[in-house]
Amino acid sequence: MTDTTGRYVFDEDDVVVTHEKSYAAGIPAVLVSLRRGMEQMGPVRTARTLWRLNQREGFDCPGCAWPETPGHRKHAEFCENGAKAVAEEATTRTVGPEFFAAHSVSDLLGRTEFWLGQQGRLTHPMVLLPGASYYEPIGWDAAFALIAGELRGLASPHEAVFYTSGRTSNEAAFVYQLMIRAFGTNNLPDCSNMCHESSGSALVETIGIGKGSVSVPDLENADLILIAGQNPGTNHPRMLSTLEKAKANGARVIAINPLPEAGLLRFKDPQKMHGVLGNGVQIADEFLQIRLGGDQALFQGLGRLLLEAEDRNPGTVLDREFIDTHTAGFEACAAHLRRVDLDTVVEATGLTLDQIRATADALIASRKTIICWAMGLTQHTHGVATIQDAVNLLLLQGMIGKPGAGVCPVRGHSNVQGDRTMGIWEKMPESFLAALDSEFGIVSPREHGLDAVDSIRAMRDGTASVFVGMGGNFVSATPDTETTEAALRGCALTVQVSTKLNRSHLVTGRTGLILPSLGRTDRDVQSGRKQQVSVEDSMSMVHLSRGSLTPAGAHLRSEVAIVCGIAQALFGPDHSVPWAEFTADYDRIRDSIARVIPGFEDFNRKVRRPDGFGLPHPPRDERRFETATGKANFTVNDLSWLPVPEGKLMLQTMRSHDQYNTTIYGLDDRYRGVKGGRRVLFISAQDLESLGYAAGDRVDLVSEWTRPDGTVQERRADDFRLVPYPTPVGNVAAYYPETNPLVPLEHVAAKSNTPVSKAVLIRLERRP
């Protein structure tokens, strides 16, 4: 429906609740994919665009980082949420100067992320001048000069922070970090700080590299796959096809999650007869409905049971040869695990001892085990320790560096892993910085920079005053919304390089800039030549992406061109880095990457192979561990879990099925049976009764954060409907960004500084 100005409007408070689904995908997925395409692109563009999605000569899906199927590509090599991601980006709707002339910033601040995103692609560089209420057009050169002037005016380069969203291509990420380091800071927060940072911290310490060690064929040939704290049906949907193959090959799947997510239970592949006419395939053989934050206790309990089974039948459970040859710290870890109290494990997990013993038996029976995980493990205070205890389990049985076995953190954004590989990290190793300096004749700073949480603190405290965002939606992706928004408003300048309108464009510094960039689906022509970019998926495979659509407007520029434009304005024409050449030919960027980053040698030739190429992974490839001990490290971790005080609830923030990170595709969380609105709280029938509420009641959510000094800080998110749902008693769930205001900035995971978005203690307040 459109309003009088022809803008799209939605009734976002017409919540309808039906039953949750027991299967993922199916024909509805096809229908929704086509409908969204038609709504945003029309029939021809929809067909042309989906035809090239994830194809060899096509473009990489801007959704998640699930890999392409090696070898043969299906015609429809995408899922429902991939089709939605493409429809969002390739929409024919546009947002240009006339839109901003019709809508003041304060008007737009009153709109939801869904409404903002549905308005279309940004087409012109826009500036919000100090004291102004409306954005106005600005020329590219003037925009670059404004940014360069502000940066050069800083007392220190460390007063600027440069954020990256995981959709940024390898080439753009590489020149971006290069510009930032040439400018003199390592302040490179990225979206990974909010999601898999705990995985990186845990894996670097234990196996020497922060990346998963398995491939798609490994998953298809595993004996046992544990899926913990992950909802593949919505967040990595094509993983279900891989799990279907694994099951056909005899694998057992055990799903560990507080919520019985449809994609963990059953998959109806709409490209298969049994997925259209039949009942599809059962995914999880066992569904363990664990309590929030109970995964570490489970992994430690399983470790104890494996050791006891080994004691009963020596040589039948542990891989002694692997432990003795390739690991360090076994004895201390084993001693710790033997002391784990199984009653505590039962209480912390909410599982029965039988369920825990059955899972241990499955591990013992397996010769090839993979553990997959996502935010349900990483966004906890003890996230790093939980993942290290999962690694302990795999090390006990030698499940690293063996086909069909290993660690599998399933990445979110399509190139979040690639960006990190390209240097988007506030604490890159000396080897990388030295290689960068010798390639470009610059002196990179050695002082570690700021991650996302520390960047918010710095802007809040006034020690940072320029924010540059390469894609993404920082305001809605980060915790403690009130604090984050105030921090950004305290800046002198905020710059957003974006494809679509979102709330971060409306929460600006004294001056705000919006720079419209090409998207993954767009044709990128530089100096008369079509350019191609590359991405790295969740399994370290690097491949090309070639956009083909006519851009939404003549004023859009590629991310590479925007970065190089800012750099040339900042450093002047005689800088040692060939910014203009980089813009004209991305092969030049790849040649430099080949000389700076191990594994990218001969990059331009290797990346042009049909499926691209795989990056080295020493633990997977050679059982070589570049850790402090030179071995795979067992770790001893104090057990943490989340008892819920009487009358309170533990909240996890999550995505709906109609959302990708902060991009809201629609208001239809089909799998959970909720549509028409997003301000809902999923709560168990027992908690509704014990707290004296009924289904549909409207409440405010109040989080209670106990500071280290013992004082309690409260935060509010108002007007949510209560939706009865099969969650563990005491555990509730709701969508972000609506519940990000409840997440305290100071509540972060140990070691990784990741916001704790899966364990927010709240109480309910009835609304009049």
What is the contact surface with ligand SF4 in residues (CB under 6 A)?
A: 54, 61, 63-64, 66, 78-79, 81-82, 85, 236-238
Nearer to ligand SF4, 54 or 496 (CB): 54
| 3-class DSSP state of 145 | helix
Task: Tell the smallest beta-carbon distance from residue 54 to ligand SF4 (Å).
Answer: 6
Nearer to ligand SF4, 54 or 661 (CB): 54
Residue 70: other Cβ atoms inside 10 A: 15
160-164 β-sheet, strand order:
136-137, 126-128, 511-516, 493-498, 466-470, 160-164
Task: Tell the smallest beta-carbon distance from residue 231 to ligand SF4 (Å).
Answer: 12
Cβ-based neighbours of 340, under 8 Å, separated by 6 or more: 300, 301, 303, 304, 639
Cα–Cα dist 635/406, whole Å: 17
Task: Tell the smallest beta-carbon distance from residue 45 to ligand SF4 (Å).
Answer: 18
Do 596 and 432 touch, CB atoms closer than 8 A?
yes
Task: Tell the smallest beta-carbon distance from residue 239 to ligand SF4 (Å).
Answer: 7
Q: How far is CA 173 from CA 146, 187, 197, 589, in A?
A: 22, 14, 18, 11
Nearer to ligand SF4, 196 or 336 (CB): 196
Do 174 and 432 touch, CB atoms closer than 8 A?
no
Task: Tell the smallest beta-carbon distance from residue 117 to ligand SF4 (Å).
Answer: 16
Do 150 and 466 touch, CB atoms closer than 8 A?
yes
Cβ-based neighbours of 367, under 8 Å, separated by 6 or more: 223, 404
Q: Judging by DSSP bridges, how do beta strands 126-128 and 511-516 pair with one another?
A: antiparallel
Task: Tell the smallest beta-carbon distance from residue 62 to ligand SF4 (Å).
Answer: 8
Residue 32: other Cβ atoms inside 10 A: 20
Nearer to ligand SF4, 76 or 729 (CB): 76
Tokens standing for residue 235: 């967040």
Q: Which residue is nearest to ligand SF4 (CB)?
A: 82
Cα–Cα dist 135/125, whole Å: 10
Cα–Cα dist 318/301, whole Å: 16
| 3-class DSSP state of 556 | coil
Tokens standing for residue 421: 């590989």
Nearer to ligand SF4, 79 or 515 (CB): 79
DSSP 184: T
Identify the CA nearest to 374 among candidates 410, 413, 408, 407: 410
Task: Tell the smallest beta-carbon distance from residue 217 to ligand SF4 (Å).
Answer: 17
Task: Tell the smallest beta-carbon distance from residue 245 to ligand SF4 (Å).
Answer: 15
Tokens standing for residue 150: 């502000």
Nearer to ligand SF4, 24 or 683 (CB): 24
Instruction: Give, to the nearest 10 degrees, the angle between helix 430-440 and helix 586-596.
Output: 130
Nearer to ligand SF4, 255 or 317 (CB): 255
Task: Tell the smallest beta-carbon distance from residue 611 to ligand SF4 (Å).
Answer: 15
For the chain, the helix, strand and coil percentages under 3-state DSSP, each to the nearest 5: 40, 20, 40
* DSSP element (H, E) containing 526: strand 525-526
Nearer to ligand SF4, 81 or 327 (CB): 81
Alpha-carbon torsion 337, 340, 345, 346, what sign? Answer: positive
Task: Tell the smallest beta-carbon distance from residue 740 to ligand SF4 (Å).
Answer: 22
Nearer to ligand SF4, 88 or 738 (CB): 88
Task: Tell the smallest beta-carbon distance from residue 634 to ligand SF4 (Å).
Answer: 34
Q: How far is CA 521 from CA 46, 71, 87, 176, 610, in A?
A: 12, 23, 10, 21, 19
| 3-class DSSP state of 449 | coil
Tokens standing for residue 149: 């002037």
Nearer to ligand SF4, 82 or 294 (CB): 82
Task: Tell the smallest beta-carbon distance from residue 375 to ligand SF4 (Å).
Answer: 15
Nearer to ligand SF4, 238 or 715 (CB): 238
Nearer to ligand SF4, 85 or 566 (CB): 85
Question: What does the DSSP assignment read for 741-768?
Answer: GGS-TT-B-TTT--B--S-EEEEEEE--
Task: Tell the smallest beta-carbon distance from residue 421 to ligand SF4 (Å).
Answer: 18
Nearer to ligand SF4, 262 or 764 (CB): 262
Residue with tokens 């995505």: 655
Task: Tell the smallest beta-carbon distance from residue 33 to ligand SF4 (Å).
Answer: 10
Identify the CA nearest to 221 among candidates 396, 370, 359: 370
Cα–Cα dist 653/735, whole Å: 5
Nearer to ligand SF4, 281 or 507 (CB): 281
> What secondary structure, in 3-state letters, does 639-666 show?
CCCCCCCCCCEEEEEECCCCEECCEECC
Nearer to ligand SF4, 66 or 693 (CB): 66
Nearer to ligand SF4, 45 or 326 (CB): 45
Task: Tell the smallest beta-carbon distance from residue 59 to ligand SF4 (Å).
Answer: 11
Task: Tell the smallest beta-carbon distance from residue 63 to ligand SF4 (Å).
Answer: 3
| 3-class DSSP state of 467 | strand
Nearer to ligand SF4, 29 or 128 (CB): 29
Do 90 and 549 touch, CB atoms closer than 8 A?
yes
Task: Tell the smallest beta-carbon distance from residue 64 to ligand SF4 (Å).
Answer: 3
Q: Which residue blocks in 157-238 are alpha helix, DSSP H? A: 170-183, 197-206, 216-220, 232-235
